[in-house]
A and B are shown apart, each in its own frame.
Chain A
Amino acid sequence: MKAEDLLKQAMSEQKLSDEARERILSGALKSVPENAPEANKKPFFNLLLIRRLALGACACLVLIVAVHVMSTIFSGDKKEADSSAKEDAVSAVNEEVKTPSVATSPLNIEGDATPNKNDSAPKGENRFYMIRDGSVVSVLPKSESASFESLSDSWFEPVEEYIEDLNVPASYILYEISRENGTIHAILIPCEPDILSEKKAEDYKDCELLEISGEPAVIPSGAISLILERDPASGEYRIISAEKKN
């Protein structure tokens, strides 16, 4: 018989007895006050909320009045400044007509009229992927994302194995994953309460290897940077480098 069949058989026999059910029932009821549900229901329009709203409205009113007074006082100066600015703008436009446009960025050296997008676009193969609720969200077009997602099992497994081999009870979060020159770079950050709180990951109390979303940021100390490479023979990924940030 297979181990999983034995497991099913043995576990199916594990049931709560009638006595245990009664014990649990009475224990649970004793632990909770009779009016607990009502006590927990907070009225939406409570006194504190109304006071805070009123205070906020007063603050807004004071701010509006102050801005109005200031704008009235300085309106005379502004008119003078406007007329001066208009004169400057006209002279600048005239100057521009005389001089042809010249590219200033080295990456736009041929004087291309299109704006230089290199600052915001992914550079080369160094692409950033986010992982949200287990599915890969990419900054790249969908086709790229899909091909990366199909690899997920092959890279996720060795990363998980690595974490298990560390034998650290409080484990790591898979924080960032990227692909560069055919290798996969994974960054794992320690799963600590303050990080979980920062990432609003309060559901993940068990601190297994988690997949959460995150912006590329300063990597905290204790983070592990892994590089995985595909083994041409088996087609599977294996870890070729692991570095811990102190």
Chain B
Amino acid sequence: MNPSRLQQEDNVRRILQQYGDLLYRMSLSIVGNSADAEDMVQDTLVTWLSETPDFPDEAHEKQWLVKVVRNNSLMLIRKRENRDRILSEQAKVSVGRDADYGILDVLYTLPDKYKAVLLLFYVEEYSVEEIATVLKKSVSAVKMRLKRGREMLSERYREKEHEG
């Protein structure tokens, strides 16, 4: 293996180590299944290797990676002809899961803009300001999405429990 290949491999390993789970969860929250989420992480790394962007710091690198994995995942969703079919597939996947994962099924039903904000705030523990930077939104827009996303998540989860 030549030195540039080794360098590429080291870089990919570092990114997977630092951001792998973040990128996977971000994609999972949008595409709704692990196989596609893994593919989206891989596509993101391919873009990174092809473009070899130069970042001034890690924050910019993370911002870029989140943006690319999110766009890739959203594009995958749009490429599929029938969104209802996807939702039904997600529902089939969720049947086999443990009951504790019911909340994830609720998450999949939320609009994409709320998924990203809820994920970054509650799971990745980003501050509102950091989320605003990553998603290129104003702080007030992030706060609003967080509030509405939280309300929607609680409401739909309650409904799901009542139905169950």
Given A16-B24, A156-B141, CB of A3 within 8 Å of CB of B38 = no
Q: Is A206 an interface residue (CB 8 A)?
A: yes
Q: Is B59 an interface residue (CB 8 A)?
A: no
A binding-site residues for B, Cβ under 8 Å = 2-12, 14-16, 20-21, 23-25, 27-29, 31-32, 34-38, 40, 133-135, 152-153, 156-157, 160, 164, 169, 203, 205-206, 208, 211
Interface size on B, residues (CB 8 A): 59
A2, B122: Cα distance in complex, Å: 12
- Tell me whether chain B's interface is mostly helix, strand or loop, or mixed: helix
- Tell me whether chain A's interface is mostly helix, strand or loop, or mixed: helix
The answer on a CB contact under 8 Å between B70 and A211 is no
- Chain A residues with CB under 8 A of B148: 157
B binding-site residues for A, Cβ under 8 Å = 2, 4-5, 8-9, 12-13, 16, 20-21, 24-25, 28-29, 34, 38, 41-42, 45-46, 49-52, 67, 70-71, 74-75, 78, 83, 100-101, 103-104, 106-107, 111-113, 118-119, 122-123, 132, 136-141, 143-144, 148, 150, 153-154, 157-158
- Chain A residues with CB under 8 A of B136: 133, 203
- Chain A residues with CB under 8 A of B138: 133-135, 152, 211
- Chain B residues with CB under 8 A of A134: 132, 137-141
A41, B9: Cα distance in complex, Å: 19
The answer on a CB contact under 8 Å between B20 and A21 is yes
The answer on a CB contact under 8 Å between B144 and A157 is yes
The answer on a CB contact under 8 Å between B38 and A16 is yes
A157, B147: Cα distance in complex, Å: 11
Most buried by B among A32, A34, A135: A32
Residue B21 contacts which of A6, A15, A135, A164 (CB distance < 8 angstroms)? A15
- Chain B residues with CB under 8 A of A206: 70-71, 74, 112-113
The answer on a CB contact under 8 Å between A10 and B100 is yes
The answer on a CB contact under 8 Å between A3 and B16 is no
The answer on a CB contact under 8 Å between B70 and A21 is no
Given A7-B103, A36-B49, A206-B74, CB of A16 within 8 Å of CB of B16 = yes
Most buried by A among B9, B38, B111: B38
The answer on a CB contact under 8 Å between A16 and B41 is yes
Shortest CB distance B149–A (Å): 9
- Chain B residues with CB under 8 A of A23: 38, 42
The answer on a CB contact under 8 Å between A24 and B16 is yes
A31, B140: Cα distance in complex, Å: 40
